[in-house]
């Protein structure tokens, strides 16, 4: 099958096949790792106020059971289909393995356009979806743990948790909050989860820019300050990634949304862009910026780093030759087709792959899951003790040196780690370690000419080890 005709799932499998050719695992094991274990597609009715009915199509795919529970978001989109959900579930398997999060991969989706439904309808859809998953044992703290994705957020996760708790036994209700992550803080969520994926994108790109030899190959100076960045998609992931880049000294020269795109070579303030969007309903006509004729034109704008943070298959064979970025940082799932990836590689563009770069969400979801099972907030036990110890140490230093620090300095140094501090520290550690693992493998594996292949090899090897430990394969 020619590359331009590959579906999303077939594209993922094409990347998988390339990486698998660099391993020595038996074909049977590779097939077990490659294909989806369970696919649940179902329909249910939604009754409208005029007493008419609409049939809602929904999916839940569990790609790999090499570790339990499986983990993966739920997206609400009019473009949801079985192929997309299978591809996203597969990516989740490899993503979790890559960052050493002990979950198998899964994904869910409901084929609706959320903006066409009111809050009551979305709640009824979400609760019915959860009820169907519960009846078929496709959800549970030790079975399958969903999370937010495109078109969903904390509200939907709270409805899922509440519905699951109502349908489970009194014994199971104790850990019911751990059946889903991305919940509101007040209902078992964790601080730092909302911005986690964007924060992970920032940590990953920032770390990549520290390797002077790698940057020299693509004509970039090390460091993030001053880098010109284009962000496609100003949703949760794109917005937070852009904000963290901006705070670190990068320049956001263009942003794109589904209804238009804007640019300013001198930089855009993403917070002001968001305010303008809330007031006007669009990012277009932002003061000081110019509108692109087509929102996809932003992908081809002059920049150092392109961050596709929208939907899959945005960089294709048609526009890849026109992309000028030195780095494509894949914040979205599957934004680059296989054909486009080949073109970019031939041009010398460095692609930081999605299965690594957007792993911040599942990493912090893992922390939330642990919090729900332990029933204690991170930092609650140690924060005050750490502060007291730090203040005692500061007092000793002041007494011995005769120099007194300002109150602001004392408070900064003495600060004990709270939940968000610990979450961000764990996320940063995870992203740095995973990047180093991928980079090391790419350097020592002859014939590996791109970071995505190296990432897939790392993930395949880790999943293979898990299956062998289970005794399924010798």
Residues labelled catalytic: 107
CA distance 455 to 450: 9
Distances (CA, A) of 391 to 13, 395, 412, 435: 55, 6, 10, 36
Residue given tokens 């274990």 in the structure block: 37
Distances (CA, A) of 65 to 36, 54, 91, 466, 470: 9, 34, 14, 10, 11
CA distance 31 to 156: 34
CA distance 127 to 313: 30
Strands 290-291 and 260-263: antiparallel
Asked whether the bond before 402 is cis by omega within 30 degrees of 0, the reply is no
CA distance 228 to 224: 9
Name the nearest CA neighbour of 110 among 182, 155, 55. 55
Instruction: Please report the DSSP string for 413-459 in residue order.
Output: HHPPP-HHHHHHHHHHHHHHHHHHHHHHHHHHSTT--SHHHHHHHHH
Helix, strand, or coil (residue 410) = helix
Name the nearest CA neighbour of 73 among 160, 142, 185. 160
Polymer length in residues for the chain: 474
């Amino acid at each position: 099958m020619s590359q331009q005709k590959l579906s999303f799932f077939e594209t993922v499998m094409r990347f998988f096949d390339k990486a698998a050719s660099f391993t020595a695992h038996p074909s049977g094991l590779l097939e077990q790792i490659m294909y989806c274990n369970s696919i649940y597609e179902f329909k249910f009715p939604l009754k409208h106020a005029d007493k008419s009915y609409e049939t809602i199509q929904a999916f839940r795919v569990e790609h790999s059971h090499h570790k339990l529970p499986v983990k993966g978001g739920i997206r609400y989109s009019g473009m949801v289909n079985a192929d997309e959900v299978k591809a996203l579930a597969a990516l989740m398997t490899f993503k979790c393995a890559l960052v050493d999060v002990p979950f198998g991969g899964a994904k869910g989706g409901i084929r609706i356009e959320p903006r066409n439904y009111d809050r009551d309808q979305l709640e009824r859809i979400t609760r019915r979806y959860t009820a169907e998953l519960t009846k078929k044992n496709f959800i549970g703290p030790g079975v399958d743990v969903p999370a937010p994705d495109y078109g969903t957020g904390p509200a939907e996760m709270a409805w899922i948790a509440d519905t699951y708790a109502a349908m489970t036994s009194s014994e199971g209700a104790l850990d019911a909050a751990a059946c889903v992550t991305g919940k509101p803080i007040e209902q078992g969520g964790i601080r730092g989860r909302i911005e986690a994926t964007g924060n992970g994108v920032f940590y990953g790109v920032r770390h990549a820019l520290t390797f002077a030899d790698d940057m020299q190959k693509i004509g970039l100076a090390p460091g993030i300050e001053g880098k010109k960045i284009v962000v496609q998609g100003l949703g949760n992931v794109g917005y937070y990634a852009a904000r963290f880049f901006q705070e670190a000294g990068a320049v956001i020269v263009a942003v794109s949304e589904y209804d238009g795109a804007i640019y300013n070579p001198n930089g855009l303030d993403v917070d002001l862009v968001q305010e303008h969007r809330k007031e006007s309903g669009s990012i277009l006509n932002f003061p000081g910026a110019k509108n692109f004729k087509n929102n996809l034109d932003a992908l081809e704008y002059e920049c150092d780093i392109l961050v596709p943070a929208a939907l899959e298959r945005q960089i294709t064979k048609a526009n890849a030759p026109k992309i000028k970025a030195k780095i494509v940082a894949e914040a979205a799932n599957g934004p680059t087709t296989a054909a486009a990836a080949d073109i970019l590689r031939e041009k010398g563009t460095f692609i930081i792959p999605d299965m690594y770069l957007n792993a911040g969400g599942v990493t912090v979801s893992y922390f939330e899951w642990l919090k729900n099972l332990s029933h204690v907030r991170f930092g609650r036990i140690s924060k005050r003790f750490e502060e007291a110890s730090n203040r005692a140490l500061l007092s000793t230093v002041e007494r011995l040196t005769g120099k007194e620090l300002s109150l602001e300095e004392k408070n900064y140094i003495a600060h004990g780690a709270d939940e968000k501090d610990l979450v961000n520290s764990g996320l940063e550690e995870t992203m740095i370690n995973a990047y180093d693992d991928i980079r090391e493998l790419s350097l020592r594996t002859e014939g590996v000419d791109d970071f995505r292949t190296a990432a897939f090899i790392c993930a395949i090897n880790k999943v293979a080890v898990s299956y062998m430990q289970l005794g399924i394969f010798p």
